[in-house]
Amino acid sequence: MPLSAALVPEFDHEMGTTRRLLDRVPEAEFDWKPHEKSMSLGQLTGHLANIPTWCNAILDAMSFDLATVADTRPSRPASRAALLEEFDRKVAAARASLVQRTDPEMLVPWTLKHGTHEVFTMPRVSAVRSFVMNHSIHHRGQLSVYLRLRNVPLPAMYGPTADER
C-alpha cells in the first residue's frame, strides 16, 4: 500500500473531527481569551483552519523558511461560516495534493527553518503526520478546553464526551 494511501484515512478522520469542533465555535466569543498570554478563540480557530495548508507546503517544496513570512500571528475569522469555508477549502486542497504523491516523493527529506536555524528535517511523510495532523490535534485539544470554559457542548472526538453519549 502506498504511504499516501495509508495517510489519507487518518487525514480524513482528523480533519473531520477538527471540523466538528470548529462548527461549535460561537463567533460572538471570537475575542475571548482564557489568559492574557493565550491566543483568542478567534485566533486559535483561524490557526486551526490554516494548518492544512502546511500539507501543500511540505509536499510542494523541499523546505520552508519561517523568516520569509511577514506576520505569523493567526488571524481572526470574520464569521464561523467563513472559518468553515476556509477550513473546507484548505482541507480539500491538502487532500488532493496528498493522494497523488508517490512513495519516493513522500520519503524526500523536508526542512523547516527559521533563517539559518534548522528547526527540523524529516521525510515528508513524517512532516505531514507531525506538522499537519499532530499539530491539528494539539490545537484541537486547546480548542476543546476553550469551548468547555465557554460552556459549549463538545462533539465526540475519539469517543463520547460528557456532552454526547
85-123 residue pLDDT tens: 999 999 999 999 999 999 999 999 999 999 999 999 999
**157: in domain:** no
Whether 72 has a pLDDT exceeding 80, the answer reads no
**84: in domain:** yes
CB neighbours of residue 125 within 10 Å: 22
Query: Which domain does 135 fall in, by range?
Result: 3-149
**164: in domain:** no
**158: in domain:** no
Tell me: the pLDDT tens digits for 131-165?
Answer: 999 999 999 999 999 999 999 999 999 989 888 87
> Please, how many CA atoms are within 13 Å of residue 42, restricted to the half-sphere of its CB?
14
The confidence band for 18, taking pLDDT boundaries of 50, 70 and 90, is: very high
| Structural element, H or E, at residue 5 | helix 3-22
Whether 74 has a pLDDT exceeding 90, the answer reads no
Q: Span 60-78, mean pLDDT?
A: 87
| Structural element, H or E, at residue 18 | helix 3-22
**24: in domain:** yes
What average pLDDT is seen over the chain? 94
CATH of residue 107: 1.20.120.450
Give me the number of domains the chain comprises.
1
**159: in domain:** no
**163: in domain:** no
